[in-house]
Amino acid sequence: MPVKNKITMLHIFDNADTLIQQQADFIVTAARDAIAKRGHFSLVLSGGSSPKKLYTLLSSPAYADKIDWPKVYFFLGDERYVPLNHADSNFLMASQSLFTPLNIGGHQLFPVNTALTPPQAAQAHQRDIENFFGDKPRQFDLVLLGLGDDAHTASLFPHTTVLHEKTALVKEIYIDKVSMFRITLTAPLINQAHNISFLLFGASKAPAVHSIIEGERNLDLYPAQLIKPAHGTLHWFMDNSAAQQLKLK
């Protein structure tokens, strides 16, 4: 059940299947609300393996008719610097589990152009975002985020320079831990969103969850602490295993 405290909204469930269904329902509600208010829904997807089941559920017959998909525009919170058809590409994962089953393409998709150099790719993606919003505030309707065991989110990794970025919307960063460039949305841009939602499960996340939500503030060590909406609402969707070290659940 949702629990409100002074930091955020916590949504804690018994198991991953229920968690994913509830996150899907939350997305449906956010999409309908945004489309009713603004005529479209801008959705930032998280990469990695955790959200794949969520995207598969959203594209299934049980959910495919719940959202007016032609009015949804898709971005990625971060992308690995690999070709878009590479097995490690976040865009490929989203394409296989969500875009292709729903027949979504063309102007609704905003992939990172990894054929460019990393700095050029970041700059081009920032221009895409600026052009999408035009003269309106750069506020995504919903940003979905994952969480690493090391407390990183998107490609905001511990002890990296991007954590101190104040002006760029998108930034390239070389991650020594994975020996790879990443292109990531920056915290200032993410924090402008109407809604931000973490999705995570498993006991391995519990120490990071506790440190981020209830621990001492240390942005270099716990980058996900950077995520504090300027105007919107922050939600954590997690299972009991991930939440087991929280005192305020």
CATH number at residue 9: 3.40.50.1360
Which pTM was predicted? Answer: 0.95
Task: Quote the CA–CA distance of 94 and 17 in Å, as a whole number.
Answer: 19
Residue 202 lies in a domain: yes
Dump pLDDT digits (tens) for 64-77: 999 999 999 999 99
Counting Cα atoms < 13 Å in the Cβ hemisphere of 32 gives: 9
Question: For the residues 5-19, what does the mean pLDDT come to?
Answer: 83
pLDDT of 3 higher than 50 = no
What percent of the chain shows pLDDT beyond 90? 93
Q: Residue 29: inside a domain, yes or no?
A: yes
Strand-pairing partners, residue 109, are 74
Task: Indicate whether 92 pLDDT > 60.
Answer: yes
Does any domain span residue 108? yes
The two structure tokens encoding residue 5: 């405290």
φ, ψ (nearest 5 deg) of residue 74: -110, 135
pLDDT score, position 2: 41
Residue 218: domain span:
2-243
Q: Is 19 helix (H, G, I), strand (E, B) or coil?
A: helix
Q: What is the pLDDT of residues 197-225, one digit of tens each?
A: 999 999 999 999 999 999 999 999 999 99
Site of tokens 């609704």: 108
Residue 41 in domain = yes
Q: What is the largest CA-CA distance in the chain?
A: 46
What pLDDT digit, counting tens, does each position of 95-143 carry? 999 999 999 999 999 999 999 999 999 999 999 999 999 999 999 999 9
- Total structural domains within the chain: 1
CA atoms of 168 and 19, how far apart (whole Å): 33
8 A C-beta contact, residue 68 and residue 33:
no
Classify residue 248: in a domain, yes or no: no
Domain annotation covers residue 227: yes
The reported pLDDT for the residue numbered 48 is 80
Question: DSSP alpha helices (H): ranges in 12-117?
Answer: 16-38, 52-58, 90-94, 100-102
Domain annotation covers residue 208? yes
Total length of the chain: 249
Q: Is residue 18 in a domain?
A: yes
The token duo for 133 is: 């919003």
Three-state SS at 225: helix
Rounded average pLDDT over 144-149: 96
DSSP letter, residue 195:
E
Query: Are 146 and 48 within 8 A, CB to CB?
Result: yes
